[in-house]
Amino acid sequence: MRIEIIRCLRDNYSYLIIDENNINACVVDPGESTPIVKFIENNNIKLKYILNTHHHYDHIGGNLELKKRYNSKIVAFEGDKDRIPEIDIFVHDNQTWKADSFEAKIFHTPGHTSGHILFHFFNEKKIFTGDTLFSLGCGRIFEGTSEQMFNSLCKIKKLPKETEIYCGHEYTLQNSNFCIQHDPENLILKKKIINIKKKLENNLPTIPTILGEEIDSNIFLKANNIETFSKLRDLKDNF
């Protein structure tokens, strides 16, 4: 299983999960179709599934064009059936979704939106976190409470430390400025920032990031109670 990172729109990431044995693929959160189509045509892969973490347009904008072109199936949260058009396969919290050689556990993680889900490809130790968890940050709370978002992040924290995190946006540098302001002595964070800058200077994504590293450097994962978390989230909204 190989992951290709595809840049979409201004700062979104979409991902192709490719089974190298049979060229079947899933796409996660195609914000637009053009860059995905380009990759598929150049690499001769079969787009079988479209996985959506949530209903925001920058994550589903390419859905219908891709579905039409490749006859792919849209996989999304059952609770979002009225706001993600043309879902083919409905999934729910704690379900293991399995199709062809793809196998992922679904986590319902309300907070950013009420229907947000994560896809955890546990065999490969990779998780697609949409706008719930970013590198050195977390999503804005649009539809939920800070308590919900805190609990959603706690679900991620319980996964194996070596899990690779693939999130929905390239917000890492911006997020690092907030983290270092609130955690100025953190050596792991400082080292990570040097690394982030190097990658961005070379026009490389800062993604994936590793869960263990995030737990040590992401101020929102370091928060160990709702009050601290909620205060940080408020501060970040006005940062």
Min. distance of Cβ 56 from Zn ion in angstroms? 4
β-strands 164-167, 209-210: how paired? antiparallel
Of residues 67 and 116, the one with the C-beta less far from Zn ion: 116
Among positive and negative, which fits the CA dihedral 185, 187, 188, 189? Answer: positive
Pick from 48, 50, 51, 58 the residue near Fe ion by CB under 5 A.
58
Catalytic entry in 55, 80, 120, 131: 131
Other CB atoms within 10 A of residue 166 CB: 24
CB–CB of 146/185 below 8 Å? no
Catalytic entry in 29, 55, 59, 80: 59
Of residues 189 and 207, the one with the C-beta less far from Fe ion: 207
Pick from 29, 32, 80, 131 the residue near Zn ion by CB under 5 A.
131
Q: Verify whether residue 92 is a known catalytic residue.
A: no
Distance CA 127, CA 124 (A): 9
Catalytic entry in 29, 55, 58, 108: 58
Of residues 131 and 170, the one with the C-beta less far from Zn ion: 131
Residues 109-168 touching Fe ion, rule: CB under 5 A, are 131, 168
Nearest CA to 208 out of 179, 172, 178, 160 is that of 172
Question: Which residues contact Zn ion (rule: CB under 5 A)?
Answer: 56, 131
